[in-house]
Structure 1
Amino acid sequence: MSSKLVRHVGGCHCGAVRFEVFAPDVVEVSECNCSICVKKQNHHFIVPNSKFKILQGEDNLTCYTFNTHVAKHTFCKTCGVQSFYSPRSNPDGKGIAIHCLDPGTMKDVTRASVDGANWEDFMAKNPSFKDKSKG
């Protein structure tokens, strides 16, 4: 994985919500099989909150939570697209939906399966996963 940080910009479908994120130009995207990620096809990579900034439309975001209410599934009130969210595994970070980035700044994307359907077991077997939002 590349360690050089690049400014990526993205947003929702209607353009009301725009954000920037500083992340490598090569990322590993998590493809989770939990109930909500499967329904939304939430393929994302995680960054620290310090590397993320909403550029416009914060007032156009709404939030959905369930189960433990730790994950904050934010989405645009107008078009319904979730461009990013606060994951349960890394509540001090953002899960960035790879498909919501504007084209041109990402060189490569690899994919990794996350067994969110068995979240507690997955986290016990992968304790470093919670560190994706660090540094």
Structure 2
Amino acid sequence: MMKTYHGSCHCGAVTFDAELDLTQSTYRCNCSICRRTRFWPAIAKADGFRLLTGETDLTKYVFNTRKNHHYFCKHCGVRAFGIGNETPIGKMVGVNVMCLEGVSEEELSRVPITYVDGLHDNWQNAPVFYSHL
């Protein structure tokens, strides 16, 4: 069920609202950036994400194909969201599930996860090993 969640980085400089359905799959990826940052995104459509505060407190990082934009808080370093510009659903926002407020540990334990093999650009399949993600 679609619901509006409020979220933030650790220090609170960056805040946002996102329309998400946490009964739908979220993602864990083994690509170089997701693995290093332990990023766990739920997907919001571009018009379902609103940055409320902290635009000037963000640092944008892009690499490789430069299609995806990774945003980090300049102060606490938390990666609260990223923007995918060329995805199967068009432009979308990957919202870090662990930055959402008001989601209990029990609710988090029930959020479905799809594991993807971004390390080998094999996005439709899980990597051979994924329990560490």
TM-score bracket for this pair, using the shorter chain length: 0.7 to 0.9
- 2:27–2:114 contact (8 Å) kept in structure 1: yes
Structure 2 partner of 1:5: 2
Equivalent residue for 1:36, pick from 19, 33, 36: 33
Relative to structure 2, which stretch is displaced further, 78-87 or 104-113? 104-113
- 2:20–2:43 contact (8 Å) kept in structure 1: no
When normalised by structure 1's length, the TM-score is: 0.80
When normalised by structure 2's length, the TM-score is: 0.81
Runs of 4 or more off by more than 3 Å in structure 1? 104-108
For 2:99, give the aligned amino acid: C
Give matches, 1:9-88, under 5 Å.
9-87=6-84
Q: How many angstroms does 1:87 deviate by? A: 2.7
Relative to structure 2, which stretch is displaced further, 36-45 or 86-95? 86-95
Alpha-carbon spacing, 1:41–1:104, altered in 2? closer, same or farther (3 Å): closer
Question: 5+ residue gaps in structure 2?
Answer: 126-133
- Percent identical pairs in the alignment equals 33
Pairwise CA RMSD:
2.2
Q: How many residues align?
A: 121
For 2:123, give the aligned amino acid: F
- 2:85–2:92 contact (8 Å) kept in structure 1: no
SS at match of 2:84: coil
1:53-103 residue CA offsets vs partner (Å, 9 max, x unmatched) = 001111111101111111100111111101000136536110011000002
